[in-house]
Amino acid sequence: MLTVDFSRFPLAPGDRVLDLGCGAGRHAFECYRRGAQVVALDQNGEEIREVAKWFAAMKEAGEAPAGATATAMEGDALALPFPDESFDVVIISEVMEHIPDDKGVLAEMVRVLKPGGRIAVTVPRYGPEKVCWALSDAYHEVEGGHIRIYKADELLAKMREAGLKPYGTHHAHALHSPYWWLKCAFGVDNDKALPVRAYHKLLVWDIMKKPLATRLAEQLLNPVVGKSFVAYATKPHLPKAAAAQGTSAVAGAAQA
């Protein structure tokens, strides 16, 4: 189940991609299938080991085209182990709401992104997330849980402040909002409640079968109750004058 819409976020074979906070690896796997050179990074070592196993299985099954590469590694989003301007594409999906220093994460992503590169950020949407918080303290008051709820304008402002230029937004996963409301209402750890079990079966059926009826329903409902807010942006090239000034400053410092 992808949150990033690759029809709005073009990916070319050979693009170097960082999936930051990759979790179970869903976006990293899709980028690998599309021929990218993927680095999936997460602080959770157990998940990274699973992602590495899936990368190996995909390679063995021939799911990735020639030239595609995939690496899974542990790392800290606030201190990325990569040089400046290392990646053509950065994806961070459902991660920033967990991290106290979200501006620091944005700064690191911008640092490792090449000028002209693209970034996709997804976070829980304000309205549906507010309902979850109202229904259940346990939903967010857990170690590593959600510490903030973003309004769309707030997230876009932080992206601009970090030096990015947003170019598009949308909402996703409307059918998942009621599921999480039910989970919060009956207990986030209570998977035995009949409404929760019944709705979960519906979601699994939808994901596996992709019927036209639910696809259309989700498209209609996404603007209203989409569970995720998705923002796309580019890192602008420096103006020639500014780039030349920066080069002169570096040369002057070296001579001094």
* pLDDT (tens place) for every residue of the chain, 256 residues total: 899 999 999 999 999 999 999 999 999 999 999 999 999 999 999 999 999 999 999 999 999 999 999 999 999 999 999 999 999 999 999 999 999 999 999 999 999 999 999 999 999 999 999 999 999 999 998 888 899 999 999 999 999 999 999 999 999 999 999 999 999 999 999 999 999 999 999 999 999 999 999 999 999 999 999 999 999 999 998 765 444 454 444 344 444 4
pLDDT of residue 252: 47
Q: Domain boundaries in the chain? A: 76-235
State how far the Cα of 19 lies from the Cα of 115, in Å rounded to an integer: 18
Among left, alpha and beta (phi > 0; psi -120 to 50; other), residue 216 is: alpha
pTM score of the predicted model: 0.90
Strand partners, 92: 20, 121
The answer to whether 140 and 133 are in contact (CB under 8 A) is: yes
The answer to whether 150 and 247 are in contact (CB under 8 A) is: no
**What six digits make up the tokens of 68?**
């595609």
Q: Looking at the domain covering 76-235, what would its CATH class be?
A: alpha beta
In three-state secondary structure terms, 122 is strand
Question: Which stretch of DSSP H or E encloses residue 118?
Answer: strand 113-124
Question: Which stretch of DSSP H or E encloses residue 20?
Answer: strand 16-20
pLDDT of residue 240: 52
